[in-house]
Amino acid sequence: MALEEFEREKLSQRDKGLIRMRALMDYGMGIMWMAMGVFLMFIKQFNTGLEARFDDPYMKGFGAICVLYGAFRIYRGYKKNYLR
């Protein structure tokens, strides 16, 4: 019963600001992680000179993991389930 009462409790202005800040941080970090993953997966198309060192299946796999983690961070920012 105590947990149900806590969930219905109104949030203070400080808590709302904290949730808003963390959601924006999650959106930003999610975009950055996804961009890094796309860069690692398609490094040949960017012509940076790094493709000789980083163009192997392990980097493509790590790039895919980065994209998935970025998507998770964006989802977490969308849900805003921090204080519950």
Render pLDDT for 33-56 as a digit per residue (tens, 0 to 9). Answer: 999 999 999 988 888 888 787 778
The confidence score (pLDDT) of residue 56 equals: 83
3-class SS at 54?
Answer: helix
> Which are the contacts of 24, defined by CB distance < 8 A and separation ≥ 6?
77
58-74 pLDDT per residue, tens: 889 999 999 999 999 99
Q: Where are the domains of the chain?
A: 2-79
Question: 23-26 long-range contacts, Cβ below 8 Å, gap at least 24?
Answer: 23/77, 23/78, 23/80, 24/77, 25/77, 26/73, 26/74, 26/76, 26/77
pTM: 0.79
Closest C-alpha to 50, from 61, 39, 65: 39
